[in-house]
Amino acid sequence: MGDLAVEFKNESFYRDIIKVKIFAGEISRVSFELFYQLSTERNDKQILLANAKTGMIFYSYEIKKSVSITDEMKIILTGQ
């Protein structure tokens, strides 16, 4: 993980059922972004709890540097 950003919008409470949506963002040669949206339902209303983003880097621990994203991972991220 190269970076992380979290924007808290509302508080959550014990017994809240938290729904998490995950979306892929920009994909480059060696990295990609993941966006998260956390929400809950209270009194028949959707309440946004938080938005977040992680910047993920494809990294080889064997050679100790970033490497190109595989075609398989691109397919997973784009849903194609």
Give me the mean pLDDT over the 1-17 stretch: 96
**What is residue 17's three-state secondary structure?**
coil
pLDDT value, residue 36: 98
Distance CA(39)–CA(61), nearest Å, equals 35
pLDDT surpassing 90 at residue 16: yes
pLDDT value, residue 79: 84
Q: What is the largest CA-CA distance in the chain?
A: 53
pLDDT value, residue 80: 75
Chain segment 22-79, per-residue pLDDT in tens: 999 999 999 999 999 999 999 999 999 999 999 999 999 999 999 999 999 999 998 8
